A and B are shown apart, each in its own frame.
Chain A
Amino acid sequence: MKTFNYHSAKDVKEASKLASSSSAFLAGGMTTIPSMKLGLATYKNIIDIKGIKKLSGIKVSGKAVTIGATTKHAEVANSKEIKKAIPSLAALAEGIGDPQVRNRGTIGGSIANNDPAADYPSACIALNAVIHTNSRKIDAEKFFKGMFETVLKSGEIIEAIEFQVPQKSNYQKFPNPASRYAIVGVYVAKHKNGINVAVTGAKSCVYNDKDLAKTLSSNFSAASINNVRVSSSGMNSDIHASAEYRANMVKVFAKKAVEAC
């Protein structure tokens, strides 16, 4: 790891001001630090935002669950309020990485990193999340741009993620046997105003499968998915799973999620 300057920001304003093209914000550091250790990323300045109190915490109102950016996965997994309001979201957090990762990794970090196989981005899409940053509010559908890419600008900091409480929802994933990231993860959420089927792991970026959503809108049952053709075009292919296999897994795990809703 190359030497760098370490800053512990006292508030969002200071953190944002310190940001530059050669800096990175540090929350849980679950991706940033290994990338630096492997020499895949080097930064002149690391801006630690863990100490900013305002960025952490969970608020549940009738229609929404709002989670501060530096809230750890374990806190989400163990939150009684979230378990009650959106049990599938707590379950998703419980399934991320291992206990060490869940006790360091944060929701904001996961979303900002936008790993194509991460779990949280699918929750954002499925639960019509709004991403609150220090300068604006962004709909999840517009937030995730591509592989490891979001619409966040330099110096822009996620403050909280606001999820819409669905009528019912469930997340099912098929983990990569080696990394345990999702080979395919499907988050199905039924809202009053529509259905989302968010898919992670399958393509270069999380997406809402409109065909599956449409089918489920007319008949919310696992059986109805049998008739949908999920194309393998644009799907990831690697040593663990071909595009064809992933396409099949999207269907299988969408069914599992619907069954578990």
Chain B
Amino acid sequence: MASLVGSRVERKEDKRFLTGKGRYTSDINIANQTYAVFIRSPHARAKIKKIDTSKALKASGVVDILTGEHIAKDKIGGLIAGWAIRSEDGSEMKCPPNPPLAKDNANFVGDPVAVVFAETLDEAKTAAELVKVDYKVLKAVSNLADTMNSEAIHEGIDKNLCYDWLLGDRQKVKEAFDKADKIIKLDIINNRLIPNAMEPRACVVDYNTASEEITCYTTSQNPHLSRLIMSAFGGVAPENKLRVVAPDVGGGFGSKINLYNEEIVCSWASKKIERPIKWVAERTESFLTDTHGRDHITHAELAVTNDGKFLGFKNETIANLGAYARVFGTVTPTYLFGPCATGVYVMPAAYSNVKAVYTNTAPVDAYRGAGRPEATYTIERIVDKAATELGMDPIEIRMKNFPTEFPFKQTLVHQVDSGDYAAGLNKAKEMADYDGFAARKKASESKGKLRGIGVTTYFEACGIAPSPVVMMLGCGVGLWESAEVRFNPTGQVTVYTGSHSHGQSHQTTFAQITADELGVPIENIDIVHGDTDKGTFGMGTYGSRSLTVGGIAIVNACKKIITKGKKIAAKMLEASEEDVEFKNGEFVVAKSNKKKTIGEVAFASYLPGVRDEVKSPLPEGEEPGLVESSFFDPANFSFPAGSHICEVEIDPETGDVKLDKYTAVDDFGTIVNPLIVEGQVHGGLAQGIGQALHENAQYDESGQLITASYMDYTMPRADNFPEFNIGFTCTKATTNPLGVKGCGEAGTIAATPTVMNAVINALGGEEISLPATAEKVWKACKSAKKTDAKAA
């Protein structure tokens, strides 16, 4: 049987998704269900003086109305930050309580303060309008730059500062800077983004009054983790009385990592009102309350020699946490950001200092790439600026500073096991026809257009694990992953994984690796995920970890199956175990033609006895059955890397930026399914380019989100993109048996600086902030023209 790893197997998911047969949370209806509508603060910052529900409670169809008072009375816990980060001075980070329904203070527009349950959705909405909330509106803190000088939002959190974190050595950096020929300085704003998963968040909760079990169907990237938090921190129910199911989920991008207010409230309330509850977010609620991404202000400095060698790097960042610290909120701007800020370069000295602050805006958490896009943007922009100031080619300066040997001890944290950065950049340079740029620029200029080229070389640390490391860095849980592989007596295989697919195509990728391990046809393999009642436990899907952690757990469970299968086969074949080899789905006795298929062995394992034709005595001491499980905790992160090159053409009259060419060359180690990986790259690029040219979440001074609909929040569309030119190089990961590295976030990480470097190149080095919208570019063109005129 030919190996499936590496082949373009069509997705097993396609039939159901492309024919509208997916089963999402909002497709689930339970007899006798009530409908929940949340009453949310219209103010960014306000004291809740009084909530009067008397009129609403009498409205038609209302079952109950609950507020923060009820939550407090029932001692239901709130939402939590999953990582404890310490400040440079050793003090612990400061996190405010985040009750599922705000009781005393509302801290952002959309913060839920009460919930109505009614027989129909219309009745719930009508009643919600009758709930009178008496607010005392306070001055909102919405401007990130001024946050630390503003009034404290949360009691006891001075300057609105969660932590003031340092990674690296200030003294060493100072010494490096003292030796430098030139210091390159850069101020950037990493714009806030709204993840905008296609499927809005939703939950359907069913409480069984007899078994006292709560089942919560929800839009989650990690149902097991949601259950753990809801049970251990929320106190909603013990884990054995709480089942969390995340069925088909239409995109997450990080925004569905968190357990949210609505899931806790509906789970708790379902038990209280003894009725099933359904809640589905409206699109406006998604804009207002899904966790947002990015939102940094950074000052960076790079110390260089005149011939372009890097000596040292400083990164001073203010990161917006929004109103509360959520699961990955505190780690995203620290350990997921700081270490990667020196990029793919040998950097003798560096530090990252991050001040994370609270504002009266939606909580900010992981969004595709989480910290690494911000880091890569910073270093790749400043490296380009250094090239411009030193009069060097952007490829030349990068080549000059690449590590030449692997493992590569990256400056701040990571020991990068494998890579070949020059090979990737050379390939990208060729695929992008870098040398033909000058001619294309001339052609553009003859049409009155400007043309720019942008380069980015990146690495990232993903496949988020290993537990000992992440726990040392502050993570509240271990980040292993589990798998169980079950043979049915008749030979099909069911694989239970703790990771979760919400667009990643695990059903196909995981089946491919299982097929290769067990020699079973792919159509006989089913992947089961997303249900805490099915499978052992899982830490979920984020940080490009599903294959590198979850997939390897499957491989290891398969290896255990083969080990046991060998013992059974040996007994069946009357051979010694050492003489039995497993190959292509068959157990073969060496130097003989005696063999048993894995299906025969599986069948025998379930029929341990002798009767007529069935002769399957189990080896002594072996249990019946062929089921194995594994927990995998890798020795390190995985470190994909790559080089992206793009070209833009700008119309100086309108400032419109046309993305003309985009080349991405990535090293993801072994690629299991190129079709799926290319899809991941495409999606990642779309989001990274979106940040560079289109997307920008904006709050006004009073803390109102002014981009709370698709009329104002620019989602990139298909016609914004050229045909992507995609290629790969391969250095295998050494920390897992497949040699795989994560691929889900790469496009998002690399695309933003690539596009901005091209835009700024087209503008002749004129700095411009994210995103490069038409008006901004038009203004930059005008000012560039003025400068040119002066110079002339």
Contact = CB atoms under 8 A, between A and B. Distances in A.
A240 B714 CA distance: 10
A177 B710 contact: no
B778 A177 contact: no
A240 B706 CA distance: 11
SS class, residues of chain A in contact with chain B: loop
Contacts of A2: 126
Given A240-B775, A248-B778, A177 B653 contact: no
B774 interface: yes
Contact of B715 (A178, A240, A242, A252): A178
Contact of A177 (B126, B774, B779): B774
Contact of A178 (B122, B710, B778): B710
Given A239-B706, A252-B654, A178 B775 contact: no
Nearest to A251: B653
Given A239-B707, A249-B654, A177 B773 contact: yes
Given A239-B706, A245-B775, A252 B711 contact: no
A165 B463 CA distance: 64
A178 B712 contact: yes
Interface string B113-128: 0000000001000100
Contacts of A22: none
B782 to A, nearest CB: 9
B248 to A, nearest CB: 24
Interface in B653-675: 653-654, 656
B698 A177 contact: no
A245 B654 CA distance: 9
A62 B711 CA distance: 40
B775 A179 contact: no
Nearest to A179: B711
Interface string A223-261: 000000000000000011110010011001000000000
A252 B653 contact: yes
Nearest to B782: A248
Contacts of A241: 774-775
Contacts of A181: 711
Nearest to A181: B711
B192 interface: no
Contacts of A252: 653-654
Contacts of B284: 38
A5 interface: no
Contacts of B715: 178
A249 B656 CA distance: 11
Interface in A194-240: 239-240
B710 A179 contact: yes
Contacts, number: 41
A240 B773 contact: yes
B694 A3 contact: no
B713 interface: yes
Contact of B122 (A3, A179, A249): A3
A181 B715 CA distance: 14
Interface in A1-42: 1-3, 38
A252 B122 CA distance: 48
Interface string A165-191: 000000000100111010000000000
Contacts of A240: 712, 773, 775
Contacts of B711: 178-179, 181
Interface in B620-658: 653-654, 656
A178 B654 contact: no
Could you say which of A38, A178, A242 has the most chain B C-beta atoms within 10 Å of its C-beta? Answer: A178
A241 B779 CA distance: 11
A252 B694 CA distance: 22
Contacts of A249: 654
Nearest to A183: B774
A16 to B, nearest CB: 30
Nearest to B771: A177
Could you say which of B694, B698, B774 has the most chain A C-beta atoms within 10 Å of its C-beta? Answer: B774
B188 to A, nearest CB: 20
A142 to B, nearest CB: 29
Contacts of A38: 284
Contacts of B706: 239
Contact of A242 (B126, B653, B712, B775): B775
B714 A178 contact: yes
Contact of A245 (B694, B712, B778): B778
Could you say which of B706, B711, B773 has the most chain A C-beta atoms within 10 Å of its C-beta? Answer: B711
A179 B778 contact: no
Contacts of A245: 774-775, 778-779
A241 B778 CA distance: 11
Contacts of B710: 178-179
Interface string A111-135: 0000000000000000000000000
Interface in B272-308: 284
A248 B711 CA distance: 23
Contact of B698 (A174, A239, A242): A239
A177 B712 CA distance: 8
B775 A177 contact: no
Contacts of A239: 698, 706-707, 712
Could you say which of B773, B775, B779 has the most chain A C-beta atoms within 10 Å of its C-beta? Answer: B775
Interface in B742-792: 773-775, 778-779
Interface string B674-701: 0000000000000000000010001000
Contacts of A242: 775
A181 B711 CA distance: 9
B650 to A, nearest CB: 14
B710 to A, nearest CB: 6
A38 B711 CA distance: 13
Contacts of B774: 174, 177, 241, 245
Contacts of B779: 245
A181 B709 CA distance: 14
A241 B777 CA distance: 12
Interface string A48-77: 000000000000000000000000000000
Contacts of B653: 248, 252
B282 to A, nearest CB: 9
B654 A174 contact: yes
B755 to A, nearest CB: 15
B230 to A, nearest CB: 32
B630 to A, nearest CB: 47
Nearest to B122: A3
Contacts of B654: 174, 249, 252
A30 B683 CA distance: 30
Contacts of A3: 122
Nearest to A38: B284
B122 A177 contact: no
A236 to B, nearest CB: 13
A177 B656 CA distance: 10
Interface string B420-431: 000000000000
A179 B713 CA distance: 8
A74 B698 CA distance: 35
21 contacts: A2-B126, A3-B122, A38-B284, A174-B654, A174-B656, A177-B694, A177-B714, A178-B711, A178-B715, A179-B710, A179-B711, A179-B712, A181-B711, A239-B707, A240-B773, A240-B775, A241-B774, A245-B778, A245-B779, A248-B653, A249-B654
Given A177-B774, A240-B712, 4 more contacts: A1-B122, A2-B126, A179-B710, A242-B775
Interface of A: 1-3, 38, 174, 177-179, 181, 239-242, 245, 248-249, 252
Interface of B: 122, 126, 284, 653-654, 656, 694, 698, 706-707, 710-715, 773-775, 778-779
4 tightest CB-CB pairs across the interface, nearest first?
A178-B714, A179-B711, A177-B714, A245-B775
